[in-house]
Amino acid sequence: MPTVAIIGLGYVGLPLALQFARSGIKTIGIDIDDSKVESLKCGENYIQHLDATDLPDLLQSEQFDVDTDPARISDCDSVILCLPTPLNKNREPDLSYVLNTAQSLAPHLQKGTLLVLESTTYPGTTENELRNTLEKGSALTAGSDFHLAFSPEREDPGNLENHLSSIPKVVGALTPACLDRACALYAHVVKEVIPVSSCRVAEATKLLENIFRSVNIALVNELKQVYTKLDIDIWEVIEAAKTKPFGFMPFYPGPGLGGHCIPIDPFYLAWKAREVDQPTRFIELAGEINTAMPAYVIKQVAKALNHHGKALKNSKVLILGLAYKPDVDDDRESASYILMDLLREWDAQISYYDPHIPTIRPGRHQSHWAQIESVSWNRETLTTFDAVIIATAHSSIDYDKLASWSDCIIDTRNAMATIDTEPNQVWKA
């Protein structure tokens, strides 16, 4: 049986590491964050939606171990990188997390080791930038001395129907031998492995999956604005359209895109396409539409407050939901933070409620909001706000109570559709 090291124990790496360990494979999780490693060593799971009740047993059986030392990969015959690939301030790919980590791992890379990148990136990253960094730091040659592959992560946080083991795994590699090794590794933890002809194809597959979503979300976001002007409810239209048994797939509007994939991945391909002088007008237009949605929501907030005889300036506004999707504690790239930034520009007084995020954690784009705590969920607190914006529709929130506690609700998720409300109490945005 192989021994595998998972580098990066976040929303992708930790579930993958636990799945390998549960499958009987000796697994070492490595992360530079001391707090994560110490929590795991104590048997504490820091990802709320992840079922890790067997973590203490896996640690005790030595099936799973955690560390901060990159040298531990010398004990492993397989290494999987699950690291962030954000955009910089100019919306250009930032590979620093991947390449800096590769640089630290390279001196410990052994002959015959398989190294797989799972981080979403543009086509060519694995066989060019990553390969060069590893070869330079290890004096080994990819494809002959060590195996190199790419397999895009397909995590769906909070979706209990899509378990990691049941989601087919696409794998591309540098050589046929590399592909055989990578496919054999993933066959231990997933039911179906989908081999493709190269790392580039696998990288492009992940981008296609997320660009497909970005473009379709942009379409319904644009239609939402058009249909609102025509006094048509986009949500009712979507419900009717999805009864068609062929040729239609429902996508839903919102206050903007969130998560580590959809707001970022299309720009990775657009950036790479410019390198070969190929415009990506369709992709970039979708990005522009989705990026503009928070500003549209704020306009609706101002209209709703105006109807109630109040100005947005100095109004007390509650953001309901910080996570980028329902029922998780993942707030990466959440549109809620953009809403908060825009509200601050209007001098609004901003608070938030999220049962999954009691305190805002430092992050790449929300450090200026860090340590702010969620308000309490009760009548006394909610009635003090001039407006409530439903940004994330957590299932645990009692929307009937919200209707009885707030006179001005801006609903970006259609969460109030089945709730009895008064005229002009709920404004869709």
Report d(CA 356, CA 202) in Å as an integer.
33
Instruction: Quote the distance between the C-alpha of residue 32 and its chain's center.
Output: 20
Name the one residue in this structure whose structure tokens are 């237009």.
Answer: 285
Query: Looking at the domain that runs over 3-202, which CATH code has it been given?
Result: 3.40.50.720
Whether 31 and 37 have beta carbons less than 8 Å apart is answered as yes
pLDDT digits (tens, 9 = 90+) for 282-293: 888 998 899 999
pLDDT above 90: residue 149: yes
Distance CA 330, CA 321 (A): 11
pLDDT band at 423 (very low <50, low <70, confident <90, very high): very high
* pLDDT at residue number 261: 65
Question: Considering only the top CATH level, what class is 230-428?
Answer: alpha beta
**Are residues 116 and 78 in contact, defined by beta-carbon separation less than 8 angstroms?**
yes
pLDDT, average across residues 400-427? 97
- CA pseudo-torsion sign 295, 301, 304, 305: negative
Q: pLDDT by residue (tens digit) across 241-266?
A: 999 999 999 999 999 987 666 667 77
96-105 vs 131-138: helix crossing angle, rounded to 10: 20
Split at pLDDT 50, 70, 90, the class of 160 is low
Phi, psi torsion values for 16, nearest 5 degrees: -65, -45
User: If we measure between CA atoms, which residue out of 327, 361, 362, 342 comes closest to residue 410?
Assistant: 342
**Comparison of pLDDT for 1 and 373, the residue scoring more:** 373
Question: Nearest-CA neighbor of 256 among 148, 138, 340?
Answer: 340
DSSP type of residue 360: P
Residue 155, pLDDT score: 81
* Residue 239 pLDDT: 97
Q: Distance between CA 413 and CA 393 in Å, rounded?
A: 6
Packing angle of the helix pair 281-307, 335-345 (nearest 10 deg): 50
Q: What is the mean pLDDT of the chain?
A: 93
Cα–Cα nearest to 66, from 8, 12, 108: 8
CA distances from 370 to 2, 32, 259, 376 (A): 41, 21, 18, 18
Asked whether the predicted pLDDT for residue 375 surpasses 90, the reply is yes
Is residue 334 within 8 Å of residue 261, measured between CB atoms? no
Is residue 112 classed as helix, strand or coil in its secondary structure?
coil
pLDDT of res. 161: 65
Using the predicted structure, report yes or no on whether residue 273 has a pLDDT greater than 90.
Answer: no
Tell which phi-psi region holds residue 259, choosing left (phi > 0), alpha (psi between -120 and 50) or beta: left
* Whole-structure pTM value: 0.91
| pLDDT score of 87 | 80
**Distance (Å) of CA 136 to CA 175, 235, 255:** 19, 54, 45
pLDDT the model gives residue 262: 64
Assess whether 261 carries a catalytic annotation: yes
Q: Is pLDDT at 157 greater than 80 in this prediction?
A: no
Residue 323 pLDDT more than 70?
yes
pLDDT at 90 over 80: no
- CA distances (Å), 410 to each of 146, 300, 346, 428, in order? 55, 7, 17, 6
- CA distances (Å), 116 to each of 71, 107, 346, in order? 17, 17, 46
List where CATH 3.40.50.720 sits in the chain.
Answer: 3-202, 230-428
* Average confidence (pLDDT) over 323-340: 92
pLDDT at 158 over 90: no
| 76, 199, 261, 408: the active-site residue | 261
One-letter amino acid of 114: L
- Percent of all residues in the chain with a pLDDT value above 70, rounded to a whole number: 97
pLDDT band at 141 (very low <50, low <70, confident <90, very high): very high
Q: Radius of gyration (Cα) for the chain, nearest Å?
A: 23
Query: Cβ neighbours of residue 65 under 8 Å, at least 6 residues apart?
Result: 27, 28, 29, 59
